[in-house]
Amino acid sequence: MRWDNLGESRSALFGADVVSRTIDTPEFRGITFHEVRARSIVNRVPGASRMPFEWTVNPYRGCSHACVYCFARKTHSYLDLDTGLGFDSQIVVKINAPDLLRRELAGRRWRGDHIAMGTNVDCYQRAEGRYGLMPGIIAALRDHANPFSILTKGTLILRDLPLLRQAAAVTDVGISVSVGFLDRELWRTVEPGTPAPERRLDVVRTLTAHGIPCGVLMAPVIPFLGDAPEQLRATVRAVAEAGAGSVTPLVLHLRPGAREWFMAWLGHHHPRLVRRYETMYADGAYAPKWYQRRITRQVHELAAEYGIGPARPGEHRRITPPPPAPAPGENTPNAPAEPVQLTLL
C-alpha cells in the first residue's frame, strides 16, 4: 500500500506511522481500519470543482456505506487499494483530525472561511461510531466561531445535536441530508450500508424540531430506476413532510472508479438497462444536459407545490454564492439562471 499521497493535496501528506486494525464484531465485521496521523486536515477544493465552497475537512477515506455509485471510489486507487470492495471495507481514519483542526484554525494564515464536510466520504459512516472524531471537530469549529456545513446519510449526526446547537449559536451551520429516493428495494442494493431513507428523513425532522435548519440533497436521482414522475413526487412530498427547508436534485454521475463498479452492479441487478446507460453516459461522467434540466425542473415544480423552495447552489449548506456575471450585452441581470448540474468533489 502507498501512504505517500494520501492527502487531499500534494501538501497534505500523512505520517508514516500507520496502524491497521481488523475488528471482528458484528457491526464492523470484514472492515479494516488504517489509523493514520494526518499532517494537514483543512484541504483546498480543486479549482475545477463546481462547488460553492473552497475548503473541506475529511476525517475518513473509504466508506462502509458502500454506495455503488460513490464518486470518491477513485481516491482509493491512490493508495493502491481496490475501488470496489476495498473502498467499502478498507477505511482510513485520521485519528488526530480534531487536534489538528484546532491547531490549523488557530493559525495566523487561517481567515475563517466556510468549511464543508461530507464532501468526499460520509463523516458519519459507521467508523464514526467507533472513533468519535466529529464531536472534537465540531467543538473546534464552535470555539473558533468558524462557519461550516455537513452533508450526510448517517443518523449518527443526532448524537452531536447539542454541539451543533452550540455551534449554530455562534456561527453559520448548514446541515444537509442526502435522500435520492424512497424505493426500499433500490436502497438495499445500491446503498447497502446506509440507514434507510425514512430514517434519514427522521434526522431532518429531528434537527428542524431543535432549531437546526436542514436541507435535503436529493441525490442521486438514478436514471430509469428512481426518476419516474411518481417516484420524484413521493420523494419530494416526504422531504416536505419532514420539514426540510429546501430540496436540491442531483442526477447520478459516474466518474472513473465509480463507473466501473456501478456498471458491474447494473449488469447484475438490471442487465436490461446496461445498453441505455452506455448510451446516456457515452460522452462522459454526466447525464446529458437535457436530462439534467428535465429532472431539475420536475423537482423544482414539485418543491413549489409542496411549499419548499428549491435551493440555489450552496444554499443547502448555508452558503450564499456570488451572483453570476451577466453575459456580454445582457440587460436582464435578475433573470433566473438555467438549472445547473452540481457535483461533489
Q: How far is CA 222 from the centre of its chain?
A: 16
Q: Are 333 and 44 in contact (CB under 8 A)?
A: no
Mean pLDDT to the nearest integer, 54-71: 96
pLDDT score at 25:
74
pLDDT score at 48:
57
User: What is the arrangement of strands in the sheet containing 19-22, beginning at the earlier edge strand?
Assistant: 19-22, 32-36, 90-94, 60-61
- Looking at every residue in the chain, the average pLDDT score rounds to 87
φ/ψ of 169, rounded to 5, equals: -75, -15
Q: Are 318 and 174 in contact (CB under 8 A)?
A: yes
Most confident of the following: 31-45, 72-86, 123-137 = 123-137
Burial of 77 (0-12, 13-18, 19+ CB in 10 A): middle
Q: How many CB atoms lie within 10 A of CB 172?
A: 16
The answer on pLDDT for 327 being more than 70 is no
**Which of 153-157, 190-194, 264-268, 311-315 shows the lowest mean pLDDT across its residues?**
311-315
The answer on pLDDT for 2 being more than 80 is no
Mean pLDDT to the nearest integer, 161-167: 98
pTM across the whole model: 0.85
Segment (H or E) for 303: helix 289-305
The DSSP bridge partners found for residue 218 are 249
Closest to 337 (Cα-Cα) out of 345, 329, 325: 325
The DSSP bridge partners found for residue 243 are none
The answer on pLDDT for 15 being more than 70 is no
194 vs 118: CA distance, rounded Å: 14
The grid coordinates of residue 104 equal: 490549523
**Which of 11-20, 223-232, 277-286, 317-326 shows the lowest mean pLDDT across its residues?**
317-326
- Among residues of the chain, what percentage have pLDDT more than 70? 83
pLDDT score at 331:
45
319 vs 306: CA distance, rounded Å: 24
pLDDT score at 80:
84
Q: Are 104 and 144 in contact (CB under 8 A)?
A: no
The answer on pLDDT for 170 being more than 80 is yes
In order of 131, 172, 292, 294, 333, the CA distances from 319 in angstroms are 29, 9, 23, 25, 20
Q: How confident is the model at residue 49 (pLDDT cuts 50, 70, 90)?
A: low
Strand pairing report for 42-44 and 55-57: antiparallel
Residue pLDDT, tens place only, 79-133: 888 899 999 999 999 999 999 999 999 999 999 999 999 988 999 999 999 999 9
pLDDT score at 92:
94
At 121, which amino acid appears? Answer: V
The grid coordinates of residue 15 equal: 505520517
Strands (E), 47-94: 55-57, 60-61, 90-94
pLDDT score at 10:
36
Mean pLDDT to the nearest integer, 201-210: 97
The DSSP bridge partners found for residue 42 are 57
Mean pLDDT to the nearest integer, 306-319: 64
The answer on pLDDT for 311 being more than 90 is no
